[in-house]
Structure 1
Amino acid sequence: MRILVATDAWEPQVNGVVRTLTRVIAEMRAMGHTVEVISPDQFKTFPLPTYSEIKVAVGAYEPVQERFKAFEPEAIHIATEGPIGLAARRICVEWKLPFTTSYHTRFPEYVSARLPLPLAAGYAYMRWFHKPSGRLMVATPTMRDELSQHGFRNITAWSRGVDTEQFHPKRDDEPDVFADLPRPIFLSVGRVAVEKNIEAFLGLDLPGSKVVVGDGPQKEELEAKYPEVRFTGARFGDELAAHFACADVFVFPSLTDTFGLVILEAMAAGTPVAAYPAPGPIDIIPNSGAGVLASSATEGLREACLEALKLDRKRVRQFAEGFSWRACAEDFVRNLQPYPEPEKTRFWRKLRRLARVRRRRPEAA
């Protein structure tokens, strides 16, 4: 198929949304599909207020419209709710094109953590955005149930994968990146931002050392407040994989993620996970033998960290081996709603004729 993906989250952003999309698109291309990506790096952008690392596209509507016409997609997926997603949504609604969407970020909670806006306003916007979507893809049953309670519909499952070759247990010939730190090592990886709830981890009374991998708007503040914690900044590729593999426990304190791809990356490295019972962890960890959940969304994370130390790292790795990016991509393709062949051909032919007529009119005048 000719698949168009519109997204406001793309490289060089570093987050689970970008990793998911890039891996799934690579898998779809390997499966023989032609994929066109509309992303912020193709537009003029400005930094998102309160989060300068994220660039927001400006004046997206007309360029996105031209991309639709040039590519003539058979299936359309809108991955995010920002300016590019809005432009693609408007085009699909105006042209009566079927499309799917996905719910990667708990946007209402994200906004409420940063701005004095009620959750209800955020959910009203999200319901409006996703309402025309033929299928709203979500990563976990918990998110499906949560969104259903908020009035969303047409929800379908789309799980995640992990690269078990890149993320693997530490080998005997590989150096220990934490050799200079007291053990055990409790690691957190992700954006250093208020919505990630990192301070819930940093404030815990734990033995050994705490390490935070990642950049973000809260990094300088937390470095000053917790001088005993090692903040490494962002790490990528094999270096990131080594940090996962050399840690004793991976701590995931976020309450706003919809899945938490880093959970699978830690498990693939054989590192057990301690987390709050939030969407993502609560769907992955129970009965996995690969992690421990806190007693509630506000308490018990310290105890979960200490219990996770006791888990069998081989069993942790075995659990992660059950997830693959190919299966994730196959799920994604099954969830798409392609434009029916006869209607598709007629639609794009008619659109090309209209475009030619419009181009001729100024010349005739």
Structure 2
Amino acid sequence: MRILIVTATYSPSINGVALTLNLQKSEFEKRGNKVTILAPKHPNQKYENSVIRIPSLPNPKIPDYPILVPIPTIHNLQIFTEKFDIIYFHHPFYIGDLSLTLAKYFKCPTVFYYHSRYEKIAQLHFPRLIFFPIINYLIKRNVGMIANQASQIIVGTQSVKQLLLRHKIKTPICVIPAIRKSMQIKNKSKSELKKRYGFADNEIIILCVSRLSKEKNLTTLLKIIKQVKSDRAFRLCLVGGGPEEKYLRKMANRLGLVRQTRFFGPVNHNITPQIYSLADIFAYPSRVDTQAIVILEAMSSGLPVVGFDCPGPKDFIQNNNNGYLVSNNLEFAQKLGELINNNLVRKKIGSNSLMTSKKYSFENSVDELENIFKKVVSEFKF
């Protein structure tokens, strides 16, 4: 197949969508498909023959998502010399409109992967003076229009599918979790990895891998860590970069958590498995993600996971089995405390977590994507 992937974020941006698309592109190509990426320009980008860049401006609010400037250039006009069997797009708004327009030109179907609860994210980034019900209405209206014009919608979890159905989306929806490769390391002990990264062997590591931005709810996580009661030494490790890093560092200092919090910053995806493998617990405070790929990554390293009871986490965390689903900050802190203080419980839940991860694999998710693409192409009528 000739696949055009249209996205608002791509390598060298470091976020879930960009990393997943990079892996999917490589796997599709290994299987004999021709894949072209249409993505915003990035100041640190490297030339790739199969990546066409759209002019963009820096986005001070969300640096991983540059502001698109739809100006035709010799480079991006080359897309019209190509032929595609299907367009696989990952965002509504301009990306969605562009994808649907290109689909008409190429006379091919479209698949829309719905990644985020966009109205929830907008509430965090728009000025408080803007009337939220109007913003919510406009966002839901645009997402609904884009979704109902696509040939197929893919979501990462069953709960998000139900959310879309409640919004009267008529396009067929299927559930295919966006899986990345296992984070498990077999040849290195936890003690060895802790020593390599400067941690004490008896120190319990609470890990959170996330973009450091408002929608990830990391200020709440710092408040939760402050509430954790434990006689045992523990430390929160935040892996990732983003616009909130400076603020989060100041907040950690203000809460007296400087010694209990370590900011790793952005790390190469090849290093990430080592970070997961040295950790003991995974904390996930976001309430707006539709799937949270990092939860499955943590489970593939045998980590018990604590997250809020909301779409995304609740689709993978089985309460009191492979982790804990909580309803408020105090309960979150209590469950972290239980896992820190009780080795047997932590190991048992971590073992169950690892078993859960074995139900999912990167290769199987690409198999499912490929099958959906073939089905959509075969049924498409222009």
- TM-score bracket, shorter-length normalisation: 0.7 to 0.9
Paired letter, 2:149? P
Q: Does 1:300 align with 2:331?
A: yes
What is the CA-CA distance between 1:267 and the residue it aligns to? 1.3
Separation of aligned partners in 1, 2:300 and 2:242 = 25
Tell me the residue number matched to 1:141: 158
- Structure 1 window deviating more from structure 2 (317-326 vs 307-316): it is 307-316
Choose the corresponding residue for 1:175, options 183, 193, 214.
193
Separation of aligned partners in 2, 1:281 and 1:248 = 18
Paired letter, 2:204? P
Tell me the residue number matched to 2:57: 46
Tell me the residue number matched to 2:268: 236
What is the CA-CA distance between 1:248 and the residue it aligns to? 1.5
Could you tell me whether the CA contact under 8 Å between 1:187 and 1:250 is conserved in 2? yes
Paired letter, 1:140? T
Tell me the residue number matched to 1:80: 91
Could you tell me whether the CA contact under 8 Å between 1:38 and 1:84 is conserved in 2? no
Matched residue SS, 1:187: strand
Choose the corresponding residue for 2:240, options 208, 214, 223.
214
Q: Does 1:200 align with 2:220?
A: yes
Tell me the residue number matched to 2:47: none
The alignment yields a C-alpha RMSD, in angstroms, of 2.7
> What count of residue pairs does the alignment treat as equivalent?
342
Separation of aligned partners in 2, 1:84 and 1:70 = 20
Structure 1 residues 197 and 62: CA distance shift in structure 2, 3 A: same
Matched residue SS, 2:180: coil
Tell me the residue number matched to 2:298: 266
Bigger Cα Rg: 1
- The TM-score, its normalising length taken from structure 1, stands at 0.84
Separation of aligned partners in 2, 1:155 and 1:248 = 36
Choose the corresponding residue for 2:140, options 111, 123, 139.
123
Q: Does 1:330 align with 2:361?
A: no
Q: Does 1:160 align with 2:192?
A: no
**Percent of aligned pairs with the same residue?**
23
Separation of aligned partners in 2, 1:135 and 1:189 = 30
Paired letter, 1:315? N
- The TM-score, its normalising length taken from structure 2, stands at 0.81
Matched residue SS, 1:293: strand
What is the CA-CA distance between 1:93 and the residue it aligns to? 4.4
Could you tell me whether the CA contact under 8 Å between 2:241 and 2:265 is conserved in 1? yes
What is the CA-CA distance between 1:292 and the residue it aligns to? 1.4
Q: Which runs of 5+ in 2 are unaligned?
A: 42-52
Could you tell me whether the CA contact under 8 Å between 1:3 and 1:33 is conserved in 2? yes
Paired letter, 2:271? E
Matched residue SS, 2:174: strand
Tell me the residue number matched to 1:362: none
Matched residue SS, 1:243: helix
Choose the corresponding residue for 1:316, options 337, 345, 353.
353
Note the alpha carbon deviations across 1:306-351, whole angstroms, 9 max, x for none: 344523233332322322111111111222255459989xxxxxxx
Could you tell me whether the CA contact under 8 Å between 1:24 and 1:328 is conserved in 2? no
Could you tell me whether the CA contact under 8 Å between 1:8 and 1:85 is conserved in 2? no
Separation of aligned partners in 2, 1:82 and 1:8 = 10
Greater relative contact order (CA < 8 Å, ≥ 6 in sequence): 1
Note the alpha carbon deviations across 1:176-199, whole angstroms, 9 max, x for none: 125149732212111111111112
Could you tell me whether the CA contact under 8 Å between 1:251 and 1:274 is conserved in 2? yes
Structure 1 residues 67 and 186: CA distance shift in structure 2, 3 A: same
What is the CA-CA distance between 1:3 and the residue it aligns to? 1.3
Tell me the residue number matched to 1:15: 15
Note the alpha carbon deviations across 1:158-207, whole angstroms, 9 max, x for none: 2232312x433672384312514973221211111111111221101124
Could you tell me whether the CA contact under 8 Å between 1:144 and 1:155 is conserved in 2? yes
Separation of aligned partners in 1, 2:38 and 2:214 = 29
Q: Which runs of 5+ in 1 are unaligned?
A: 345-365
